[in-house]
Amino acid sequence: MTMASAPTTDALYLLHEGTQYQSYQFLGSHVEERDSVRGINFAVWAPNAKQVNVSGSFNGWDGSNHKMSMSGGVWTLFVPKLEEGTLYKYEIVTLDDECYLKSDPYAFHTELRPGTASIVTSLEGYDWQDEEWLATKTSNQFLQQPLLIYEVHLGSWKRKEDGSFYTYLELADELVDYVLERGYTHIELMPLEEHPLDASWGYQVTSYFSVTSRFGSPKDFMQFVDRCHQKGIGVIMDWVPAHFCKDAHGLTRFDGTPLYEYADSRKGENPTWGTQIFDYGKPEVLSFLISNALFWMDVYHIDGLRVDAVYSILTLNFDREEEDRITNELGGDENLEGIAFLQKLNAVVFSRYPNALMMAEDSSSYPGVTASVEHGGLGFNYKWNLGFTWNTLEYMKKNQAERCEAEDQLTNSLLGAWDENYILPYAHDEVVHDTKSLLGKMSGDDNWQRFANLRVLYTYMIGHPGKKLLFMGNEFGQMDDWHSESALPWNLLAFEEHQQFASFVTQMNHFYVGEKALWELDHDTSGFEPIGEEDKSDGLVMFIRKAENDDEHLIMICNFKTEKHEGYRLGVMKPGSYQEVFNSDKAEYGGSGVVNDTTLLTEENACQGRSYSIMLNIPPLAAVVVKYIPQEG
């Protein structure tokens, strides 16, 4: 015996209005009890289907005896005595009498590829132990606190000897401690929603509410996040609302019509990625996407989302040939519905999670990405500064003779460092597809110079205003491109130069986290002051970073040339004592060992526009950080 149960009138009203932000609570499959009988209630939005049936392991994949009933575009069916673990799909009969099987868009768990069935799963009952982490968040925690992110692809961070994946539970033991010991504040996970193709890295999704089965169960993933929080590590997940893959069991033409995607193929297809584009003008799609963003925070305690491919949401003509370009009703190429979606997304997320991290991966020059929605912005609290990434790496590829003429390429990002709340990312895209690793991009006659170049670049990054992100493998000097089908080359740590470089990155990370001057005023121009920027011939880039208490200030001296400077006179803010507190040229890091190991006393000798100065040695291809020592009393 089967019984249908429709969602409430209020729930349907909000769904169709585009303001149902917890639609996962009634759509999908849910364990329920009716008249003292436990079973599963199924509900799916498919307004244009002629009929929808539930087909699964419990009925031999023949849904003819499990027909659903429709109310307000949502089909429902309660099947008594079904249990968790049941495999199922929706049997869609279209208006043209075609019949095919679709995975549940709201499924909480999905078969491991190549299987595509949804799995009835309850997310209730996990005993969270992260109360202390949740209680210590504040509304300004991240803008005025250090944010140092380790970006990870779980499938290739490490692999077992037989090539199989580490599980969420194994990663909770090993990866979390690794990240903690190396000073990172957050882990960013490349997309974990279920996806059919490993090579897509999770960026082409079929089941947005299913954490991928590749590494274990939903509750295993809860334990991974819980362990991160217990160790004081935040968790960010890459989220992909820009497009979805065309696999037949997924969202594409879900009820026989373009349901989740735009009906106009010019708007509904991404020609570069071969994917479908969400219809941001459809209220039910907005309810789906915003519910999904909140779902990861509600259910899995995720601390924030890095929103992928924002540029492709903002424009109608992303990667479109000139002859194929389209315009909006105002004559421009902005996707007005996509812009409104992003504004609504951020407004809703921050209304419920004021301390969330919402990060835009946006390669466009669209203004106000991190401005508030109330002031016409998109409402994110961070934007990836991809211009910083691309320009600094292009500079670091140049040989010594070319660098003087190209210094603007390195430093122009300092002119616009406060245009948005920026994150400075050296992410996975910079080390894949024959682009070389970061170490491989460095110029130099030998490995010593390449490692030295990477050390000075990293130190420049931690000094540059903005939060920080580094992709896995770059912390120990991976030599080759990143390959997602195999583990990182951990064997490199058997070699001294990689051990030394890994030690450098660890100590640099802890130094960054421990110094307020490097992050407290990241997004305030008062926290930065340039030094000697007019001279581009010496390869030196120098500036001051300040905390709110400007006695807590650091001077960053970065030398991007192979010549060292002995007895260099440097203008300083205040008279008194200074001390070298970080030096990328230390012998223990593989450097040449040019350090300043005595207190640096000021002289009343004007230099670089300042009344006082100190004398210090600046090593080749290295960065030195000097700290002001306030006088006691």
CA distances (Å), origin 358, targets 353, 369, 370, 425, 529: 10, 11, 9, 15, 28
Query: Within 13 Å and on the Cβ side, how many CA atoms surround 381?
Result: 21
Of the residues 220, 269, 279, 308, only one is catalytic, namely 308
Cα dihedral 306, 307, 311, 313, rounded to 10, equals 180
Give, rounded to a whole angstrom, the gap between the first and last alpha carbons of the chain: 84
Helix axes 336-352, 283-300, angle to 10 degrees: 30
The b-or-e profile of 237-264 (16+ CB within 10 A means b, else e) is bbbbbbbbbbbebbbbbbbbebbbbbee
Q: Which residues contact 401 (CB under 8 A, 6 or more apart)?
A: none
Alpha-carbon dihedral of residues 610, 616, 622, 624, nearest 10 degrees?
-60
| Spatial separation of the C-alpha atoms in residues 103 and 85, rounded to whole Å | 15
CA 198 to chain centre: 18
Identify the residue whose tokens are 């037989």: 162
Rounded to the nearest 5°, which phi and psi values hold at 77?
-165, 130
Q: Token digits for 581?
A: 């507190």
Tokens of 83: 């249990």
Identity of the residue numbered 173: D
308 is catalytic: yes
Count Cα neighbours of 431 within 13 Å in the Cβ-side half-sphere: 27
Nearest to 449 by CA among 564, 617, 561, 595: 561
Beta bridge partners of 51: 93
Of 380, 368, 358, 362, the closest CA to residue 302 belongs to 358
Quick check: 134 and 301 in contact, CB under 8 A?
Answer: yes
Joined together, the tokens standing for residue 549 give 């208490």
Instruction: Please name the helix (run of DSSP H) or strand (run of DSSP E) that holds residue 337, with its range, or none.
Output: helix 336-352
Angle made by CA atoms 163, 165, 169, in degrees to the nearest 5: 145
Distance in angstroms (rounded) separating the CA atoms of residues 505 and 492: 15
Given 194, 303, 361, 520, which residue is catalytic?
Answer: 361
Which candidate, 5, 29, 48, places its Cα nearest to that of 282? 48
> Which two structure tokens, joined as six digits, stand for 400?
């010594």
Respond yes or no: is residue 193 known to be catalytic: no
How much of the chain is in helix, strand and coil states, percent to nearest 5?
30, 25, 45
Question: What is the H or E stretch that residue 37 is in?
Answer: strand 37-45
b/e for 392-410, b at 16 or more Cβ within 10 A? bbebbebebeebeeebebb
Residues designated as active site:
308, 361
